Amino acid sequence: MHFMQSLQQAWQRHDSLVCVGLDPEPAKLPAHLRDQPDAVFTFCAAIVDATADLACAFKPQIAHFAALRAEEALERLIAHIHDKHPGMPVILDAKRGDIGSTAQHYASEAFDRYQADAVTLNPYLGRDSVQPFLDRADKGVILLCRTSNPGGADFQNLIVQDEVSAGRPLYQRVAATIAREWNDHGNCALVTGATYPEELGQVRQLIGTMPLLVPGIGAQGGDIKAVLHHGRTPDGTGLMINSSRGIIYAGSGEDFAQAARAAALELRDTINAWRR
């Protein structure tokens, strides 16, 4: 199934805009799991199974697996999601970006090796660096636009001068270019941080109903009401609002998965209160 189609179905079926970020860190795992073999897979799979009916997507962050030499666990985790929760979109958060044949290899890593439904990418290298991903019309291509960190302003908020976006910041030019020129297959989405909801709203003005992946609520302090106000589409969707730590580390005991479920439920309902 196409990523965009499965995302839309998950929004409806689960009445949820929550994206569950899977960022396993050994020191934060529940004590009873920490010394088990395969703890990372066991932990993440339990979170997935406890929250799948409350989420619109799962987003494993690849560095958390790579730093642990746990690529094989990541492969099994994504296979587990596809097997146990068919139709749930999996976004590989990798923020890759390179040119030519190397871009092909990164596309192969994300879509063939890991079987992800979508991947996050960095647009700085331009259109040809993204083309091998765009060409996979059934896959989602989620490009960094305005990120949630303070340093995001260093370059993304520089004012650029050209006929397309005279006097507008770079992140808006990136959004406009992707919406106008890169989205032939309708498989693009953007990353816009919850910490700058008015800038997220500026992006929404430029891109129609293209989905936004929104990190930065919870630990980073983004305001859910403002994100919904500025970012939702007319039908009350258009957003994948990510929470990682707030859900997966909601509990640290043997009931960690139930604690994650309670946190996901609360976030879904908080979002839904501002959604319509």
Cβ-based nearer residue to its own copies, 46 or 176: 176
Coil vs helix vs strand at 140? strand
* Neighbour count for residue 251 (Cβ, 10 Å): 16
CB 265, min distance to its own copies, A: 25
Nearest distance, CB of residue 73 and its own copies, angstroms: 13
Nearer to its own copies, 195 or 202 (CB): 195
Out of 59, 95, 139, 225, the active site residue is 95
Cβ distance to its own copies smaller for residue 124 or 253: 124
Residue 81, H or E segment: helix 71-84
Residue with tokens 């092909």: 104
Residue (61 or 243) nearer to its own copies, CB: 61
Separation CA 246–CA 239 (nearest Å): 18
- Chain residues in the site for its own copies (CB under 8 A): 23, 25, 61, 63-64, 66-67, 69, 71, 95-102, 105-106, 108-109, 112-113, 122-130, 144, 147-156, 158-162, 167, 170, 173-174, 177
Q: CB of residue 2 vs its own copies: minimum separation in angstroms? A: 23
Return d(Cα 236, Cα 273) in angstroms, integer: 11
SS3 at position 193: coil
Q: Is 200 left (phi over 0), alpha (psi -120 to 50) or beta?
A: alpha
User: Does residue 114 sit in helix, strand or coil?
Assistant: coil
Smallest gap from Cβ 190 to its own copies, in A, equals 13
95 is catalytic: yes
Which residues are catalytic, by number?
95
